[in-house]
Amino acid sequence: MESPDRNSIFYEIDHVVKQVATNPALFTYLQDCRADWKIILGDARLKIESAPAHYYDLIVLDVFTSDAIPVHLLTKEAFRLYISKLNKNGLLLVHISNKYINLQPVLDKLSSDTGLVSRVRNDDGNEEIEKYGSTWVVLAREEADLGRLARDNRWKNLEKRHSIRAWTDDFSNILSVFKW
């Protein structure tokens, strides 16, 4: 059954990832996807600029689990861009799982500085089924846009750290959120 009103756009910087993702012998998610989809190669922040205003219902950032944090995706300027691309009730979902860096205070500060509401959820892993734990942050313009998540006790307020400044294109402090 097709979903004509649904489509997914994946922004991917690495052409090898695209090759793996589109090879059904290696990865079947896209092959099995019932919605239309496309992969746009390049830096997501630069590429998303050309998307129409208020186009997306949901933007998912899932790039922060490796040792290298693409800081330019977590700045006030980047968040203003994402907000401009979300529809009126759209959500921004950010995967912030990381062994070495606690991005909760950064997201909290970005949320408050850009006028968004936010929640965080820590999803435990399960070794029995080889599932890794993960941490997700959801952001929206209004509390009502969070829908049921606003009332779900698994979604908590983000960790605040008053010494944290919002990151911008001209300032970031990765050491301030390092897990020592």
Q: Which residues pair with 119 in a beta bridge?
A: 138
pLDDT of amino acid 63: 85
> Does position 147 have pLDDT exceeding 90, yes or no?
yes
- As a whole number of angstroms, the distance between CA 179 and CA 97 comes to 12
DSSP string spanning the chain? --EEEEEEEEEES-HHHHHHHT-TTT--HHHH-SEEEEEEES-HHHHHTTSPTT-EEEEEE---SSSS--GGGSSHHHHHHHHHHEEEEEEEEEE---SSB--HHHHHHHHHHTT-EEEEEEE--BGGGTB--EEEEEEESSGGGGGGGGG-TTSBPPPP-TTPPPP-SS---GGGGB--
Q: Tell me the pLDDT band of 5, cut-offs 50, 70 and 90.
A: low
Mean pLDDT over 87-106 rounds to 94
User: Could you give the CA distance from residue 91 to residue 85 in angstroms, rounded to a whole number?
Assistant: 10
Q: Is a pLDDT exceeding 90 seen at residue 34?
A: no
Interatomic CA distance for residues 11 and 16, integer angstroms: 13
CA-based nearest residue to 125, from 137, 117, 114, 133: 133
What is the pTM for the complete model shown? Answer: 0.91
State yes or no: pLDDT of 43 exceeds 90: yes
Least confident of 33-37, 107-111, 136-140: 33-37
Of the candidate ranges 3-7, 127-131, 176-180, the one whose mean pLDDT is the lowest: 3-7
Q: Residues 52-75: what's their mean pLDDT?
A: 89
